[in-house]
Amino acid sequence: MRYREALNLAMREEMNANEDVFIMGEDIGVFQGAFKVTAGLLEEFGERRVRDTPISENTFVGMGVGAAMAGLRPVVELMTINFSLLALDQIINSAASIRYMFGAQVKVPLVIRMPQGAGHQLGPTHSHCLEALYQHIPGLLVAVPSTPADARGLLKAAIRDDNPVVFIEHETLYGRRGEVDTDDDEPLRFGEAAVRREGDGVTIVGISRMAETALKAADKLASDHEIEAEVIDPRTLRPLDLDTILESVRKTNRAVIVEEGWPHGGVGANLAALIQEQAFDHLDAPVGRVTGADVPMPYSKPLEQAAFPHEEHVVKAAVATFRDV
């Protein structure tokens, strides 16, 4: 099953199971979504539960917050994570804070789906990775699935959760295929990382699409350098399964974090701090970080390719942890 099909299946299953679940966003109905994730849902569920919205993110995210407070379970699709910046007030000041401000008397079971990432030559206003921004906000849950199975399982969990969830999908993953157990209706639990590859040489933590890049780098490390890397995919950033990461670092004594986002204040910066705070005595080298370039995403294809990490960058960073002993 493709990644986009797994997301579609999750929404279809949850909409069939619970009439309070509905979806809305720009072009999600007749056009079936910018990345065709909502294909067929309008025909199956009708305009009442599949709602095309005006081009006004602040407005329809606010509608989602209100609908969630009133007892519904909206799934709001934003065309790209960059456009979520237009709705930051609704996401941060409202969705993330209302349950706290009301002493848990009001819930906000809202899911906001956001595609992100480079690789399609869509320029700086459509291609950035902003998971670090949402990881920063208390009151939000943040998911970054990298496989079709995780996309389905985590989206089902997000829809059923009583907290607002920022659900981040990487644009280049939509066409990726992977095994999905459609007989298993149980959602994945937030806060449980996946060990994608076991090893004892170095721990590589890959965020979103970079989990895939980390696996390719691990194969090169094994074949070219005889280094067996352990690859961890956090799957969710809030809550974060730090225990699994620390357990791996205590075994390998080295760590490299790979993200497509910017370096300053990024997910990797946060993880590096947590690892050195809680596993310092186990480290044989400084924590390595591989990030996107500290620039707006270029439109030019060669420059765009140069602006985000590839497996060779991860290999270089991992090998460097052995030279720093």
Task: Verify that 79 and 114 share a domain, yes or no.
Answer: yes
Mark whether 7 and 63 lie in a shared domain: yes
Q: Are residues 199 and 146 in the same domain?
A: no
Among residues 139, 173, 207, the one where a domain terminates is 173
**Does some domain include residue 233?**
yes
Report pLDDT digits (tens) over 87-105: 999 999 999 999 999 999 9
Give the whole-number percent of the chain exceeding pLDDT 90.
96
Looking at the structure, tell me whether residues 111 and 165 fall in a common domain: yes
Closest CA to 134 of 53, 236, 232: 236
Same domain, 114 and 227: no
- The pLDDT tens digits of the residues spanning 195-253 come to 999 999 999 999 999 999 999 999 999 999 999 999 999 999 999 999 999 999 999 99
Q: Give which of 242, 252, 247, 231 is closest to 273, Cα–Cα.
A: 242
In a domain, 165, yes or no: yes
In 3D, which of 211, 256, 269, 265 has the Cα closest to residue 236? Answer: 211
Query: 204 and 115, same structural domain?
Result: no
The last residue of a domain, from among 173, 202, 237 = 173
Tell me: the pLDDT tens digits for 264-301? Answer: 999 999 999 999 999 999 999 999 999 999 999 999 99
Q: Do both 206 and 166 map to the same domain?
A: no
Choice among 5, 13, 26, 57 that is catalytic: 57
| Domain with 276 in it | 194-323
184 pLDDT band, cuts 50/70/90, is confident
- As a whole number of angstroms, the distance between CA 232 and CA 203 comes to 7
Whole-prediction pTM: 0.95
Give, to the nearest 10 degrees, the angle between helix 210-225 and helix 311-323.
Answer: 60
The verdict on whether 259 is a catalytic residue reads no
Helix 242-252 / helix 267-279 crossing angle, nearest 10 deg: 60
Percent of the chain with pLDDT over 70: 99
CATH number of the domain to which 255 belongs: 3.40.50.920
Q: Is residue 178 part of a domain?
A: no
Is residue 120 among the annotated active site residues?
no
Phi/psi region, residue 309 (left: phi>0; alpha: psi -120 to 50; beta: rest), is beta
Same domain, 23 and 161: yes
pLDDT at residue 324 is higher than 70: no
Number of domains composing the chain? 2
pLDDT of res. 108:
97
100 in the same domain as 12: yes
Q: What is the CATH number of the domain that holds 87?
A: 3.40.50.970
pLDDT band at 325 (very low <50, low <70, confident <90, very high): low
Instruction: Assess if residue 164 is contained within a domain.
Output: yes
Helix axes 3-17, 148-160, angle to 10 degrees: 30
Q: What average pLDDT does this structure show over 12-18?
A: 97
Check 126, 170, 212, 311 and give the catalytic one: 126
18 and 167 share a domain? yes
76/30 Cα distance (integer angstroms): 16
